[in-house]
Amino acid sequence: MEKTIRGKVFVLGDNIDTDQIIPAERLVISLSDPEERKLYGHYAMSGVPIAQAGLPKGNTPFITGDKNESEYAIVIGGKNFGCGSSREHAPFALRQAGAGVVVAESYARIFFRNSINGGYLVPYETAQRLVDKFQTGQEAEISLEANTIKNFATGETYPLQPLGDILPILEAGDIFAYAKKAM
């Protein structure tokens, strides 16, 4: 696992639910077929009501055209990120699209655990409202060692809550790899 993640940010609002992250009608796509798995990336953040929940200014899409990967490596959300139904497909879809980190003020517990258990995303929490400090498309860098996020457009660096006990699970790859390693 890289200790630094750098890339463009995609900024959302509060209460982004799993149907906005990956619409329920897309759950018929096979997780076991490598070609179909790519489609989870294509449909990431494509839920219709997302515009009402805080799409970036200008309704910037997460995925453009027929691509399966996004140009955004970091997702910044507000409160209650990943609420809704308890599907592991949501963090998986973001990972398939190329996102490696979600930074939010708070998470729905099941989304948080699915991100960690599957090794899909680094779910950072922040005490600050970073959705007001970043704009979609800005470059940022997250340091897993310093627990910070830097906005290159403004030069500002913000603290993130330490990952604590979840870091070894993410470093191992997922909860099963961690359990094997711990035995």
CATH number, domain containing residue 55 = 3.20.19.10
Which is nearest to 74 in space by CA: 145, 4, 15, 19?
4
Q: Write out the chain's pLDDT in tens, 183 residues.
A: 789 999 999 999 899 999 889 988 888 888 889 888 899 999 998 875 554 445 555 567 888 889 999 999 999 999 999 998 867 899 999 999 999 999 999 999 999 999 999 999 999 999 999 999 999 999 999 999 999 999 999 999 999 999 999 999 999 999 999 999 888
Number of domains in the chain: 1
Maximum alpha-carbon separation in the chain: 50
pLDDT at 61: 83
Determine the pLDDT at residue 52.
47
- In three-state secondary structure terms, 115 is helix
Domain of residue 54, residue span: 4-182
* Distances, alpha carbon 54 to alpha carbons 9, 39, 41, 60, in Å: 14, 23, 20, 11
> Could you tell me where the DSSP H helices lie in 72-165?
89-96, 109-117
pTM of the model: 0.93
